Each structure stands twice: as C-alpha cells, then as structure tokens.
Amino acid sequence: MTPYELLLIVAVITAARAVLSLRPVVAGTSGRSTAIAREFLDPFIIAGLAAWVLITFVARTYYIPSGSMLPTLQIHDVLLVDKFEYRFHRPNEGDVVVFPPPVPTPDDFIKRVIGRPGDRMRVADGTVYINGIALHEPYVAEKPSYNLEIRDYGVAVNYGTGWERIDPNSGNVPPKSSWSAPDRIPPHCYIMLGDNRNDSEDSHIWGFAQDGGRFATGPRGGTPAGFTGRAFLIFWPPSQAKIL
C-alpha cells in the first residue's frame, strides 16, 4: 500500500466520522449507536495517520517481485526500508537501496550501490573495480558476463561483440557539462547493480541513478529523481529473516 492509498483510506474514514457527528440522534436511542461507531472509527483514524507518517517519512515495507537481487533477496521476500537515513548522508557502497529508476516503470527498483559520485569504475572479466581496487562480492549469483567502463563522459558496455555506449535517449547519462572528469561518475550519480548480475535491469542497461534533482536524460528525463531508502531488514518469510 502506498502512502497516497493509505491517506485516501484515512480520508474516507474521517468523512464517515464527520457524517456520524452531524447525523441527528433518533428518538429513543440516546445516540448510543452513533457513539459506538465513533468510538470504533476514531482509533482507526489515529492509527492510520500514524502509519501514514511512518511510511512517508520513516520506514515502509517493500515486496520483492523479481529475481534481480538473488541470492541476497528471494522473490516474495518482504523488506523494511529506512526512508530517514539518507536525509543525513549519501548512500554507502554496498547499500541495498530502493529508488525510482530513469526508465518507465510502475514500481521502484531495488539494487546495490556499486559506484558513487567521483569514483572511477569498471567491470572487467567478471570483476568490479572501484578506483582501481577489485571489489570482493560474495553476494553475487554469478560474475557479470559483460564488461563496463565509465569513460569519455559516458557509460560503455561490451557484451562480447564490441563496445557500445548507453544512449542518453534510452538511459540517464548526464551531458558533458555535468561531469567533473571524463572517467569519473558525475556528481549526484550512482551505478546500481543487481546481485543477480546477468538477469538484472540495472545501470549496465540504463546508466545512472541519482540522489536528487531531476533525471538528466532518458525516457524519464526531467522527472524527479532520488532514493526512496535503504533496505535494512528482511522480515518475511520468517525463514529468510535477517539484517541486510
């Protein structure tokens, strides 16, 4: 349930509560039925408003619909996402993050932060390198079958048939003027990869996620960007429960 759906439900209950408050008391009832109805509705209104505040500003649940984060996250897992933390600092390398991607989709994506603003980043022969240092990634399902480089003010990917640059018309690749260096991830931009590297729609397909502002290019260019929050706990099913 989204915050907007919850707020709509609270509004409907509040409207019903208001109607009962204005309803004339039927002779001989002493208003008992109306009072009982109000007594039951008021706690729902208070609880609904409290839940809305929590899922809007503090934390919310997130359901895993695909296998892009296997083996870390299984299909149908339910997570708790911290929406408060990134108000104070930017995402850390390795965080599992929920965010709106720069491509059309009805739902947020969930991926792992791999490259951050200012990093030099490449994928070569199945290994990810950040600033020249190979990452130890025990969480991946299998090594990526592609190579990737941040270079020449763009994102280049090689699937074994030659290098191809991600087209700014189909992904989020800021213009040259937004970069601090041709081989470093631009300000406010992140490389996000799924742990199931070879079955994940992520940065090797659509370029950069952003921590704010508006997407620079791509199908959602000009629309708001940002991070929904950091996934920190799997709480369902109980057999899969763990802190991320």
CB atoms within 10 A of CB 125: 7
- Residue 68 is classified by DSSP as T
Catalytic entry in 68, 83, 200, 203: 68
Quick check: is 145 catalytic?
no
User: Which amino acid type is present at position 20?
Assistant: L
- Positive/negative CA dihedral, 77, 78, 80, 81: positive
Quick check: is 111 catalytic?
yes
User: Which H or E run includes 151?
Assistant: strand 147-151
DSSP, residue by residue, 136-149: --TT-SS--SSEEE
CB atoms within 10 A of CB 73: 24
Distance CA 31, CA 132 (A): 75
Catalytic entry in 33, 66, 111, 170: 111
Q: Give the residue numbers marked as catalytic.
A: 68, 111
